[in-house]
């Protein structure tokens, strides 16, 4: 019996797909692993002791305060608009359904430049206020953009579409049976929202909120420009201004812990689940037509959100750019550099996302390794991944110059955003019936044949959404590009940040607008795709 048991035991073997998935996971996770390793074992010395005693608490508390206030503002912007757009009819609903995603095209640092100029004492908003009231600047209080609330408002304006999209999808998929049962029991619209719809959609809302807050924690451009001392600003300052990479790595460990904490909270919220749609008779409820007064009030509210988050700041940038009449000759090369890096990074991230998505369908080992590495790369801010790449460059003997730096930068882009590309691919697989794979297996198809003839065609249905998301995110990336780009290889983001930091906002408007314009087309396309998909589900 013992001989039989011994002969029947086999250690787990890694098939080629699992090995490729493992290699992709190592490629994704290496930068964050190096940053963590250096932060844990690296000696901080006197510089670290000084930061611990004077600045560490301030960096940490400021970062947490920005995250908390941004979360509140995102929920305020995203959840009510998603509810009304999904399940109510009001004037302009069709327009707001896709237009509320437009702020994704403008990165937070671009909105920070615009709002800092528009809300300045000499800016158009306060100037108009003084003209209307006859007051002087000392006679009234006005919100200060250069503050934690100001940064939180800017980040919420740029990132609330993450939570809006997930909340809209959750509200649109609510069960008709559940909604009708609540109405039959006398639930008012307010109670229906608070006690039925909101609990059911909470996991999806938390998923979008967690993504937005991880981006908030990772932000460097807006925080640096507005003078808010977050951990990202401290990391960049320790590396660039004080030439203390070990200190920067230790600060990076704290930032990664915060990001992983947000991801952990999101996983817990998702695990609680909600009201699931498990039968065809549980159809999506029809939208309720609001009364004239209520409908226009909702339309005004959605308009206000869109104005604050996108229309006013972008219009201000257009006005300043047109007013100064800057030439475009100096912008061509940064524009081409941005497109080159975004396209190369998107291609690399898409290949990695496709690899770990397909690997996750092969066995549990590949699923765990791929998802853990992608989650770690996405949770780690770009500034941390760039720091890890710098340690790898130092260890291998390469310098931050020439093709090597560009290759490392594309690598960091791919490591940072592979998870964002994997989500649409996972969604594509989840929509495919399991009978496809079972049928191929019953017909004697090998693992490789199923991969080529079944898995890849299914994954391609989510390819466009994945590619769009990856391109837009990489086009906006700033801190990693600042740290790793070769000399004389400025992107639009780097050029805009440099001009704005030198208080040359007029010169920063054109690259800022080009970043927004380049991301606007893909965002509109993605928004229209999501709208058509929702209409198809409703019709079905």
Domain boundaries, the chain: 55-283+290-321
Those residues of the chain that have pLDDT short of 50 are 1-12, 274-282, 328
Whether the Cβ atoms of residue 226 and residue 150 lie closer than 8 Å to each other: yes
DSSP track, 254-300 = HHHHHHHHHHHHHHHHHHH------STTSPPPPPEEPPHHHHHHHHH
SS3 399: coil
Compute the distance between CA of residue 324 and CA of residue 46 in angstroms, rounded to an integer: 47
State the chain's maximal CA–CA distance in angstroms. Answer: 97
Phi then psi for 187, rounded to 5 degrees? -70, 130
Indicate the pTM of the whole model. Answer: 0.82
Query: Would you state the pLDDT for residue 13?
Result: 56
Whether the Cβ atoms of residue 503 and residue 442 lie closer than 8 Å to each other: no
Query: Would you state the pLDDT for residue 276?
Result: 45
pLDDT, tens digit, 9 for 90 and up, residues 101-141: 889 888 899 999 999 999 888 888 888 888 888 888 788 88
Assign residue 397 a region (left: φ > 0; alpha: ψ between -120 and 50; beta: otherwise): left
Torsion of CA 275, 280, 283, 284, to 10 degrees: 70
DSSP state of 362: T
Compute the distance between CA of residue 168 and CA of residue 173 in angstroms, rounded to an integer: 9
Whether the Cβ atoms of residue 229 and residue 62 lie closer than 8 Å to each other: yes
Residue 389: which of 317, 327, 479, 292 has the closest Cα? Answer: 479
Tokens at 48, concatenated: 């670290």
Query: Would you state the pLDDT for residue 446?
Result: 62
Query: Would you state the pLDDT for residue 534?
Result: 58
Phi then psi for 168, rounded to 5 degrees? -65, -40
Task: Compute the half-sphere exposure of residue 515: CA atoms within 13 Å on the CB side of its CA.
Answer: 30
Assign residue 214 a region (left: φ > 0; alpha: ψ between -120 and 50; beta: otherwise): alpha
Residue 32: which of 215, 236, 249 has the closest Cα? Answer: 249
Compute the distance between CA of residue 105 and CA of residue 99 in angstroms, rounded to an integer: 11
Compute the distance between CA of residue 229 and CA of residue 63 in angstroms, rounded to an integer: 8
Query: Would you state the pLDDT for residue 26?
Result: 86
Compute the distance between CA of residue 193 and CA of residue 189 in angstroms, rounded to an integer: 6
Query: Would you state the pLDDT for residue 67?
Result: 95
Whether the Cβ atoms of residue 51 and residue 238 lie closer than 8 Å to each other: yes
Query: Would you state the pLDDT for residue 2?
Result: 47
Residue 82: which of 292, 320, 354, 287 has the closest Cα? Answer: 287
Place of tokens 């104005």: 307
- Helical H runs in 361-401? 364-379, 382-396
N-term to C-term CA, the chain = 58
CATH code, 55-283+290-321: 1.10.3720.10
């Amino acid at each position: 019996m013992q001989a039989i048991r011994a002969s029947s035991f086999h250690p787990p073997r890694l098939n080629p797909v699992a090995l490729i998935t493992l290699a992709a996971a190592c490629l994704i996770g290496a930068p964050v692993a190096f940053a963590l390793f250096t932060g844990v074992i690296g000696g901080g010395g006197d510089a670290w002791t000084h930061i611990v005693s004077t600045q560490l608490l301030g960096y940490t508390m400021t970062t947490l305060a920005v995250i908390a206030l941004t979360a509140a503002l995102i929920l305020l912007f995203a959840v009510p608009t998603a509810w009304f757009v999904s399940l109510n009819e009001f004037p302009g609903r069709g327009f707001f359904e896709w237009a509320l995603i437009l702020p994704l095209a403008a990165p937070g640092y671009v909105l920070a430049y615009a709002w800092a100029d528009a809300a300045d004492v000499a800016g158009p908003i306060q100037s108009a206020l003084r003209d209307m009231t006859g007051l002087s600047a000392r006679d009234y209080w006005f919100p200060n953009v250069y503050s934690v609330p100001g940064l939180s408002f800017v980040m919420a304006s740029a990132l609330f579409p993450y939570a809006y999209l997930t909340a809209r999808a959750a509200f649109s998929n609510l069960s008709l049976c559940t909604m009708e049962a609540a109405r039959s029991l006398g639930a008012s619209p307010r109670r229906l929202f608070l006690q039925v719809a909101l609990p059911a959609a909470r996991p999806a809302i938390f998923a979008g909120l967690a993504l937005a807050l991880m981006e908030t924690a990772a932000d460097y451009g807006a925080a640096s420009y507005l003078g808010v001392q977050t951990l990202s600003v401290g990391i960049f300052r320790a590396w660039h201004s004080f030439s203390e990479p070990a200190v920067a790595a230790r600060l990076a460990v704290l930032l990664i812990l915060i990001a992983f904490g947000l991801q952990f909270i999101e996983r817990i919220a998702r695990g609680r689940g909600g009201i699931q749609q498990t039968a065809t008779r549980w159809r999506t409820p029809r939208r309720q037509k609001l009364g004239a007064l209520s409908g226009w009030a909702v339309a005004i509210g959605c308009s206000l959100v869109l104005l604050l988050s996108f229309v006013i700041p972008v219009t201000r940038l257009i006005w300043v750019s047109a007013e100064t009449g800057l030439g475009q000759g100096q912008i061509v090369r940064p524009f081409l550099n941005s497109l080159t890096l975004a396209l190369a990074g998107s291609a690399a991230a898409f290949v990695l996302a496709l690899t770990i998505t397909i690997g996750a369908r092969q066995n549990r080992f590949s699923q765990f390794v791929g998802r853990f590495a992608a989650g770690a790369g996405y949770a780690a801010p770009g500034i941390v991944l760039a720091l890890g790449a710098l340690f790898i460059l130092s260890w291998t003997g390469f310098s931050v110059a020439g093709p090597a730096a560009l290759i490392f930068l594309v690598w960091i882009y791919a490591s940072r955003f592979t998870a964002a590309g994997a989500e649409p691919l996972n969604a594509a697989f989840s929509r495919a019936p399991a009978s496809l794979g079972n049928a191929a297996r019953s017909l004697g198809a090998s693992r490789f044949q199923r991969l080529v003839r079944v898995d890849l065609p299914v994954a391609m249905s989510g390819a466009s959404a994945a590619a769009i998301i990856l391109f837009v995110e990489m086009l906006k990336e700033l801190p990693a590009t600042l740290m790793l780009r070769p000399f004389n290889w400025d992107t639009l983001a780097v050029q805009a940040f440099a001009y704005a930091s030198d208080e040359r906002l007029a010169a920063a408007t054109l690259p800022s607008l080009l970043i927004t314009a380049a991301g606007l087309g893909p965002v509109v396309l993605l928004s229209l795709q999501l709208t058509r998909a929702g209409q198809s589900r409703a019709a079905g």
